[in-house]
Structure 1
Amino acid sequence: MNELWAQRGVLIAATATTWEIFTLATLLALVISFVAGIASVASNQVIRRIALVYGEAFRGISLVVQLFWIFFVLPFFGVTVSAVQAAVLGLALCFGAYGAETIRAGLLAIPRGQQQAAQALGLTRFQSFLSVELPQAMPTFLPPLGNLLILILKSTSVTALVTVPELSFVSNALSANLGVSLAVFAYVLAVYYFTAQLILGATGWLERRVRVGGKAGYRQ
């Protein structure tokens, strides 16, 4: 245990790396999800097809393969990224494709009459989407997006394959070197569990806020 305590800085640094990758990948994945999801229901056929092709391609390719291409293959084409950048980009592109399908399903679930009613009131297409369609779709796609964030968190462990010193890889190395597997992996379990609980708590709070706001809007 004394050896493990002496290496606490290594574990803390690995935890920070995991949280950094998760945070950046989540932000980028959410942007991709909304852009691709909205594009997939656009009236422009070219934009819609591009978004659908992106979703099908990145949902159909293993995350490991995507990471390998970004980190090991792109340098052959003159594009070199760091291990952390490859991890963030790979996670964001992969899970952004899943998130886009969630956004698309939520938007398609809104009755067509809502859009027509908004247009009858003189709202532009953008105003209709922002003020009528999106608020109604959010309670539908928030729970799946919360689950998607959990998947991103758990998938940060895969980024060790492109040499990222994230928590699971570093903890496994420490356990092998110091022979204190129980203490190391108890720490890893606690980090992943409590981070996941924070994510679920935040998305649950946001979902309740959206539902209460929607009901208040309807009463008005």
Structure 2
Amino acid sequence: MGIRTLVGMLVAALAVIGLLATQTSYSLFLPGLLEGALLTIEIAVLGSVLAVVMGVLAALARLYGPAPLRWLATVYVEIFRGTSALVQLFWLFFVLPQFGLLMDAFTVAVLALGLNVGAYGSEVVRGAILAVAQGQWEASIALNMSRAQMLRRIILPQAFIAMIPPWGNLFIELLKSTALVSLITLTDLAFKAQQMNQSTLKTVPIFTLVLLIYLVMSLVITIGMRFLEQRASAGLSRGRAA
């Protein structure tokens, strides 16, 4: 699906929200839901940044780090891939305080979701690096590059393009997982919807708006990642032609 189609879907979703906002049965709930959506976006953005950082560091540690770092990176990846994001949220929020480490709910949400997605992302990064053609590695060695130079100038720019689509999927999964943070007292979009539904029983307008808001946020991520992929591919092509 091309960017134009995705942009068309985004415009259509926004138009539907705007149309519904003109109806009293929907307009009553929209401001509160948008307030919850803002918190959802904050968690998703910060969690995504943490996920990328942890994914790259864990992948590089597993590929090129000394034995202790490889072991730590493997333990991190297997723990956070092998357990539920919900359990991780609960463990950080309810269990760590028993050991004297108390964090606010927002920090826990960002840490849990970022570390969880970062564990999956590390495999994306590792796979993309290993997928770079062997000839590129050999050419880098022939040019007498250090490993750091090789990765920065040759390997990672090519691997980056392969990473973009799966990272886009992971960012969307992280966005949807933010609905879990309502269980640790955060008033995100899902929590706001539950509150409104319990007090008014207006299920149809509330969750119709929630569905559309999540769709808009997901489409923004998808469009951004498609645009980034196109720019990166064009840049690599120009580099090869030069």
What interval of TM-score do these two structures reach, taking the shorter chain for normalisation?
over 0.9
TM-score by length of 2: 0.86
**Structure 1 segment 47-126 matched on structure 2, within 5 A:** 47-126=69-148
Separation in 2, partners of 1:69, 1:177: 30
User: For the structure 1 residues 6 and 182, does the alpha-carbon distance in structure 2 shift closer, same or farther, using more than 3 Å as the test?
Assistant: closer
**Structure 1 segment 195-210 matched on structure 2, within 5 A:** 195-210=217-232
Flag as ranges the 4+ runs of structure 1 deviating above 6 A: none
- In the alignment, is the contact (CA less than 8 A) between 1:118 and 1:128 conserved in 2? yes
**After superposition, what is the alpha-carbon deviation per residue over 1:131-181, rounded to whole angstroms, capped at 9, x for unaligned?**
100011112111000000000000000111111111112112202211222
Cα drift, residue 119 of structure 1:
2.5
**After superposition, what is the alpha-carbon deviation per residue over 1:12-64, rounded to whole angstroms, capped at 9, x for unaligned?**
32111111111111111111111111111115233222212211111001111
Which residue is equivalent to 2:4?
A: none
Separation in 2, partners of 1:43, 1:111: 21
Gaps of 5+ in 2: 1-22
TM-score by length of 1: 0.94
Structure number with greater CO (CA < 8 Å, separation at least 6) is 2
Separation in 1, partners of 2:29, 2:222: 31
Whichever residue aligns with residue 62 of structure 1, its letter is: S
Separation in 1, partners of 2:151, 2:88: 33
Gaps of 5+ in 1: none
Give the paired residue count.
220
**Equivalent residue of 1:165, what SS?**
coil
Whichever residue aligns with residue 152 of structure 1, its letter is: L
Separation in 2, partners of 1:91, 1:76: 21
Which residue is equivalent to 1:30?
A: 52
Percent identity over the alignment? Answer: 36
CA RMSD after TM alignment: 1.7
Cα drift, residue 111 of structure 1:
3.0
**Equivalent residue of 2:64, what SS?**
coil
**After superposition, what is the alpha-carbon deviation per residue over 1:43-90, rounded to whole angstroms, capped at 9, x for unaligned?**
523322221221111100111110011000010111111111111110
- In the alignment, is the contact (CA less than 8 A) between 2:197 and 2:206 conserved in 1? yes
